[in-house]
Structure formats: structure tokens, C-alpha cells
Amino acid sequence: MHLFYQPGVDSPGVNSSDPVEFLSEDDSRHAVKTLRLGIGELIAVTDGHGNQYTAVITKADARRCTFRITSTKTTLPRPFSVRICVAPTKNLDRIEWFVEKAVEVGIERISFFFGQHSERRVLKLERLEKIAIAAMKQSLQSFLPILDEALSVGELLKTIQEEQRFIAHLPSVDSPGVDLPVHLAKAASIAGQYAVLIGPEGDFAEKEIQQAVAAGFQMVTLGPNRLRTETAALTACQFLNFINA
């Protein structure tokens, strides 16, 4: 059964003017034209807030496919939350890839920031939001993670509510002997609200690290290898999901 996304589903506040449930234009086209679904066929629809509905198509209209809900399944949020704060990569593919994969494996929030050493200074969320929605559907989840517009490190730090705060700082390449900071997976305690800062390709500026530490961020490592920005960001998700598995 195919999963569709309709944030307004079964929400009188949103659809009150129109009690009939319907798919977005994109999803209507996908359902009717691509999947050739017809009247009476079953679909699944999520509102992206934990509710997943089983529904039957009542009008197979490629611009406005309507449906009637037959059952509801509500998923509770995870007993922990992962917020990754990451600097967009110079190559957009890499950050798009991170968003797709992070949503697949499970994440609550992605907050972007421009660091002093960031090569990329512009980031449009629209395409990333489409990627997040597609990944949510593809992995059959009922929660759509929040994507935040890019801020400066200083502005970003003001928005951090999570109590467990970590900053992934690269071990220096040319000093193999030096002690690494503690591993994220050891530093984090389970069932927490986590915020992890992942630096840009040019790494954090010393001042940014000091700002983060002053804001209660603990320096952690993600392992012995030097990871690309998007790999480090996904690895942080995986480790936090893992300790809570």
C-alpha cells in the first residue's frame, strides 16, 4: 500500500472549508497517473505528525484525488530526539544526500548554519523539504522532521533547547598521538534530547568552538577516521539512534 503525505488530513482546522479529504496535486498525479490507482483502492496517508491513515480513494482525479479514511494509526514520537546542526556543503548533492539518509534512518530536526569557514553561503530549503518528504514516505514513517533555515553559529546557539549538546570536532590530522575527545556514543546518555553540531568542510573557527563550548556543547569525536561533513552528520544520527535502539 502506497504512503502519501497530506499535512492537512483529518484536521478540521485546515480542511474545515472542505470536509472532503484529498491528496496534494503532486500526490494526486502520482496516485492516479503513475500508480494508476482507481476508485475503491486503498492508500495510506500520513500527516507527518505521527498519524497514518488507511483510506479508500473516492475520486481518482489526477489533480485532486479524494479519499475517505477507514482507519487511523497513531505513532508516538521516539523516546529521544536527534537534532543535527550542520553547515551546508559546497556541493549541494552532499547535503541533499544527508537529508535523505538522515530522514530514512530517523531524525527529528535538521538545523543549518553558515560557519566562518563555510564555502556555501546560500541554502534554499524548498528542495530539501521535498527530499525529506520523499524519504519519509519511502521509509514509511509518520513524522516529518523539521528543517530550519540556515543561521550564523551565534544565532543558531540561541535556538538550542536540547539538554544534551555535542560538537563534533576533528582530531588534528598531523598529531596522531594526541588524545581524542570522548566518543559521541559514550558521551551521550540514552533517552535524551540531543543536539549535535557538525562543522563545515573548512572545520569550525576557533571562535565558533569557544562559543559552542560556552553554550554547553561538549566536544566529541565520531571515530578515528576523518569524515566528510555529510558523513559525520549521518554517523552522529546513527550513533544516537543506536544507543537508543
What residues make contact with a copy of itself under the rule CB under 8 A? 1, 73, 97, 101, 104-106, 138-141, 173-174, 176, 183, 185, 223, 225-228, 231, 234-235, 238-239, 241-242, 245
Q: From the CB of 213, what's the least distance to a copy of itself, in Å?
A: 24
Q: Which is nearer to a copy of itself, 214 or 245 (CB)?
A: 245
Of residues 44 and 213, the one with the C-beta less far from a copy of itself: 44
Cα gap 121→14, rounded to integer Å: 35
User: Toward a copy of itself, which CB reaches closer, 41 or 104?
Assistant: 104
Pick the closer one to a copy of itself by CB: 159 or 241.
241
Kindly state the smallest distance separating residue 126's Cβ from a copy of itself, in Å: 21
Nearest approach in angstroms of CB 86 to a copy of itself is: 15
CA distance 49 to 77: 9
Give least dist CB 139 to a copy of itself, A: 4
Full 3-state SS string of the chain: CCEEECCCCCCHHHHCCCCCEECCHHHHHHHHHHCCCCCCCEEEEECCECEEEEEEEEECCCCCCEEEEEEEEECCCCCCEEEEEECCCCCHHHHHHHHHHHHHHCCCEEEEEECCCCCCCCCCHHHHHHHHHHHHHHCCCCECCEEEEEEEHHHHHHCCCCCEEEEECCCCCCCCCCCCCCEHHHHCCCCCEEEEEECCCCCCCHHHHHHHHHCCCEEEECCCCCCCHHHHHHHHHHHHHHHCC
71 burial (CB, 10 Å; 0-12 / 13-18 / 19+) is exposed
- Nearer residue to a copy of itself within complex by CB, 55 or 150: 55
CB of 57 to a copy of itself, least distance (A): 17
Nearer to a copy of itself, 135 or 160 (CB): 135
- CB of residue 238 to a copy of itself, shortest distance in Å: 4
